[in-house]
Amino acid sequence: MNRRRLLKGVGIAAVGGAAGCLGGGSADDGSFSTFTGTPQSVGGVDLPVPESDLRRGAQKDAIPAVTEPAFGSDWSGVDATLDDDERVIGVERDGRARAYPLAVMNWHEVVNDEFDGPLLVTYCPLCGSGVTAERRVDGEPTTFGVSGYLWKSDLVMYDEATGSLWSQIFATAIRGAKTGAELELTPSTFATWREWQEEHPETQVLLPPPESGTIAGDVTRNYDRDPYSGYDESRRIGIGGGDGSTDARLHPKTDVVGVTSDGAAKAYPLDAVEDAGVVNDTVGDRPVVVTTGPDGTLVAYDRRSDGRTLTFSAGDDGHIRAGDSRWRILTGEAVDGPFAGSTLARANDRSPMFWFAWADFHPDTALYGE
């Protein structure tokens, strides 16, 4: 199984500057705040990131972040189609669920939501990475937008409160007044629309603009068209058109779910996990279980529950088994047996992403199957 089954190809096409992979451009245009504190680091990278390490893929706000999201039970009332196998970023908060389709995220990349508190939902089509976080800087809600810059081929955001630049995958400010500050991450799930609806039948789903408002006002795109068609199958990385990966152990666009713990990092490729069925492993000091759903959705959980470290095996339709209980693959919840009602903690704090992106941000990563 490959990514094509889960989302319409993600690739580089001429879309007139409406997507983050496009455009030429220059270095810092001076519109972002200046860092005056002590240099810091994140993931082994010194901060602030030099201007020369940023690449402009579009002008600021040319990819218009969603600032007034609207939701419905489906897309029956809009001029676009939400297929069952479309990938969504799913979020559950306070017993409610929302889905953010990649059909929208591919065009807008950032959603500023109010969902049991200020919520930031982000997606980088070039890295295949989704990150959700509390939408706060210095403890106060703020609006995030798309800066138009790329760093390590990844989305760079800005916040309106301070004008700082933020790495999406690191969820850290890499330039500007808040350099070194980190966003508080929140749990989310990559799934198909079909999977998410089955687990959350009362879910709301983000409606595409113009139903949802953006930082640029009323805009619209062809949400039935993928602006990145073919990118997920090519060896092209980002906008540079380079061949190969920073780490040649896998095809650069292999889907992996990554886990970090106690200074260790490990990636689990989709095909290897599917072949194994269920993977029981340990990363650093964290025992983990990694598996896939019926639609090929990669999930990773901490396999400790109620003080016990469990060993999982394959189960029936949409479940894995451990401790005489069945656990839902998509949510990690035990549905019967002695652990009924318990929920496994997520082992990954970022979504599955392309191998090249994981390896670039975690250059010392181990790889399952080696």
Confidence (pLDDT) at 276: 97
Which CATH number does the domain 255-367 belong to among 2.102.10, 1.25.40, 3.30.70, 1.10.8?
A: 2.102.10
Among residues of the chain, what percentage have pLDDT more than 70?
88
Phi-psi region of 230 (alpha: psi -120 to 50; beta: other; left: phi over 0): left
Does position 42 have pLDDT exceeding 60, yes or no?
Answer: yes
pTM over 0.95: no
Q: Where are the domains of the chain?
A: 3-214, 255-367
pLDDT category, 13, cuts 50, 70, 90?
very low
Nearest-angstrom CA–CA distance, 55 and 239? 9
Helices within 96-157 (DSSP H only): 102-108
pLDDT in tens, 262-275: 999 999 999 999 99
Nearest-angstrom CA–CA distance, 89 and 195? 11
CA pseudo-torsion sign 239, 242, 246, 247 = positive
CA pseudo-torsion sign 61, 67, 73, 78 = negative
- Short-list 78, 112, 129, 183, CA closest to 359: 129
pLDDT in tens, 198-212: 999 999 999 999 999
Q: Are 268 and 259 a contacting pair, CB within 8 Å? A: yes
Beta bridge pairs of residue 137: 140
Helices within the chain (DSSP H only): 102-108, 193-199, 270-276, 355-361
Q: What backbone torsions phi and psi does residue 51 show, to the nearest 5 degrees?
A: -55, -35
Of 70-74, 97-101, 234-238, 274-278, least confident by mean pLDDT is 234-238
Residue corresponding to tokens 């019926």: 294
Q: What backbone torsions phi and psi does residue 272 show, to the nearest 5 degrees?
A: -65, -40
Local structure of residue 285 (DSSP, 8 states)? T
